[in-house]
């Protein structure tokens, strides 16, 4: 029996090794579940050509937007687990697992983490006429007039909305959400004085901050941004435990051979260390991550465990 089991193990090992040795022998599809021009799309188009050169096969970027990134993610979750269909997505994928009650796939079991690519902070900004010049002053104003302050938010379960929900939860304040269809209109409402505050992409608002048109109070990550080093973190501003990292990662379908995942992980880690890619991402305000597939899997699980209670407490749900 031991000899039989050993034979089976060796055969499986040889099969996996052979698969990895011949991989890839045809084009790889990298699904971006958002429209062209967004953060995930930009990173995909930075990494794609480098990965193509590294593995000797074309990497085709396939934009499949819709349902807050869930349509494209579902395509990958149901694809053949052979390493030829990959997904790049954001922390929004973790939020979807808690928010969408009829999600056609399970983020934690139907996708195989490959690598954590990069993280980027969001920025808490307020209109210039608002008296608050710090997070603590903003909290004091919100507590003095519950519900009077409003916050421009984007999308159900988006990182922008979840940034606001975490703020309200940790600060124990009531702030009225004003929904917008995109980050641009939300920021314009702040510039026009129609809304009081918002959480926005750092790159989208830093020029307005520097021009004095809106005021930055804090970044959402546990580390300060290297391109806005004088702006404190939310934790430094009196909300210990506040940390929302707008990260990007790459997945394969669950069941993809470990050797194939290891190959992809190794090549993408090399790409992230390439000065051209590393410097471009950091110039755009991102923090390059990398690491093993196991590290990324643990990170996803910890993010889900941290955010699921926040989603439930906020009553955010799509049936």
Domain limits for position 208 = 122-219
pLDDT at 21: 67
Each residue's pLDDT tens digit, 254-309:
999 999 999 999 999 999 999 999 999 988 788 899 999 999 999 999 999 988 98
Q: 6 in a domain, yes or no? A: no
Least confident interval from 16-20, 109-113, 177-181, 242-246: 16-20
Strands 28-32 and 85-90 come out as parallel
Rounded to two decimals, the pTM is 0.79
CA atoms of 33 and 291, how far apart (whole Å): 23
Least confident interval from 12-21, 109-118, 304-313: 12-21
The encoded tokens of residue 289 equal 């991550």
Query: Which of 219, 234, 263 lies at the terminal end of a domain, its last residue?
Result: 219
Length of the chain measured in residues: 319
Instruction: Give, rounded to a whole angstrom, the gap between the first and last alpha carbons of the chain.
Output: 51
**DSSP-assigned beta bridge partners for residue 219:** 123, 233
The encoded tokens of residue 179 equal 């929904």
pLDDT at 50: 97
Each residue's pLDDT tens digit, 210-234:
999 999 999 999 889 988 999 999 9
CA atoms of 130 and 151, how far apart (whole Å): 13
Clarify whether residues 214 and 261 are in a common domain. Answer: no
CA atoms of 286 and 149, how far apart (whole Å): 30
Helix (H, G, I), strand (E, B) or coil at 152: strand
pLDDT at 20: 58
Residue 7 pLDDT > 50: yes
The encoded tokens of residue 260 equal 């194939």
pLDDT at 161: 85
Clarify whether residues 205 and 187 are in a common domain. Answer: yes
Query: Which of 184, 219, 254 lies at the terminal end of a domain, its last residue?
Result: 219
Clarify whether residues 107 and 253 are in a common domain. Answer: yes
Q: 73 in a domain, yes or no? A: yes
Each residue's pLDDT tens digit, 48-67:
999 999 999 999 999 998 88
Residue 4 pLDDT > 60: no
CA atoms of 291 and 268, how far apart (whole Å): 10
Where are the alpha helices (H) located in the chain, listed in sequence order?
2-21, 39-55, 70-77, 92-99, 135-144, 159-171, 183-191, 202-210, 258-273, 275-283, 293-314
Clarify whether residues 258 and 116 are in a common domain. Answer: yes
Domain of 301: which CATH number? 3.40.190.150
CA 29, chain centre distance (Å): 20
* Identity of the highest mean pLDDT range in 8-12, 16-20, 151-155, 191-195: 191-195
CA atoms of 143 and 139, how far apart (whole Å): 6
Residue 139 pLDDT > 60: yes
Residue 239 pLDDT > 60: yes
CA distances to 13, 20, 132, 195, 196 from 6, rounded to whole Å, are 10, 21, 68, 67, 66
């Amino acid at each position: 029996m031991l000899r039989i089991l050993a034979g089976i193990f060796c055969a499986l090992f040889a099969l996996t090794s052979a698969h990895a040795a011949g991989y890839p022998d045809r084009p790889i599809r990298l699904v971006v579940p958002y429209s062209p021009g967004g953060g995930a799309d930009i990173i995909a188009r930075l990494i794609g050509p480098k990965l193509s050169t590294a593995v000797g096969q074309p990497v085709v970027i396939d934009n499949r937007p819709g349902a807050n990134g869930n349509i494209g993610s579902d395509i990958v979750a149901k694809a053949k687990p052979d390493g030829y269909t990959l997904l790049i997505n954001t922390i929004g994928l973790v939020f979807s697992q808690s928010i969408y009650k009829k999600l056609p796939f399970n983020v934690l079991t139907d996708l195989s983490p490959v690598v954590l690519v990069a993280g980027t902070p969001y920025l808490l900004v307020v209109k210039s006429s608002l008296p608050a010049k710090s997070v603590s002053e903003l909290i004091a104003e919100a507590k003095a007039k519950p519900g009077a302050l409003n916050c421009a938010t984007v999308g159900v379960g988006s990182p922008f909305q979840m940034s606001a929900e975490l703020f309200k939860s940790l600060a124990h304040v009531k702030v009225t959400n004003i929904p917008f269809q995109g980050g641009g209109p939300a920021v314009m409402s702040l510039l026009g004085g129609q809304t009081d505050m918002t959480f926005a992409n750092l790159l989208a608002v830093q020029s307005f901050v520097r021009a004095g048109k809106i005021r930055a109070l804090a970044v959402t990550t546990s580390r300060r941004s290297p391109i806005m080093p004088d702006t404190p973190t939310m934790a430094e501003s009196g909300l210990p435990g506040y940390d929302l990292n707008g990260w990007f990662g790459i997945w394969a379908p669950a069941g993809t051979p470990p050797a194939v995942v290891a190959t992809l992980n190794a090549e993408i880690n090399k790409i992230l260390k390439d000065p051209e890619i590393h410097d471009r991402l950091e110039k755009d305000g991102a923090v390059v991550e990398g690491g093993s597939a196991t590290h990324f899997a643990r990170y996803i699980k910890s993010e889900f465990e941290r955010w699921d209670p926040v989603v439930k407490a906020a009553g955010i749900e799509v049936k």
